[in-house]
Amino acid sequence: MINYDDFAKVEIRAGKILSAEKIPETDKLLKLIVDFAEEKPRQIVSGIFAHFPDPAVLVGKTCTFVTNLEPRIIKGHESNGMLFALSTEEGAFSLLEPNTSIPPGTKAK
């Protein structure tokens, strides 16, 4: 269990995926370029290739991300956030997608 103050530190925002491509020589990593209505888009590395063998289907989707994590280098690529998704032991998978009226950069409250 964490207390509310710890949870309140997590910044959750909507981001629109501008591009998505598989990172060569990896089995599961995609490089996403995501618009959060900031000065420039962010790069986010996510291990979701198994669910999106054609990464182009992600382009244009608005999804939910944690945006205040420290940058992390994953297989030589800097990641500046984390995509929210759900999965089950049986293999079901879902991105967390806000409805279409929510613009990029909108912060969860």
The Cα 35–Cα 13 span in angstroms is 10
Instruction: Write down all domains in the chain, each with its CATH number in brackets.
Output: 11-95 (2.40.50.140)
The Cα 100–Cα 88 span in angstroms is 25
Instruction: Look at residue 58 and give its three-state secondary structure.
Output: helix
Evaluate whether 48 touches 32 at the Cβ level (below 8 Å).
Answer: no
pLDDT digits (tens, 9 = 90+) for 3-62: 999 999 999 999 999 999 999 999 999 999 999 999 999 999 999 999 999 999 999 999
Q: What is the pTM of this model?
A: 0.94
Residue in the block written with tokens 């994953």: 74
Strand partners, 104: none
Task: Take residue 92 and report the two structure tokens written for it.
Answer: 């079901």
- Listed in sequence order, the residues at least 6 apart from 2 whose beta carbon sits closer than 8 Å to its beta carbon are none
pLDDT digits (tens, 9 = 90+) for 56-87: 999 999 999 999 999 999 999 999 999 999 99
Q: Is 79 exposed, middle or buried (0-12, 13-18, 19+ CB in 10 A)?
A: buried
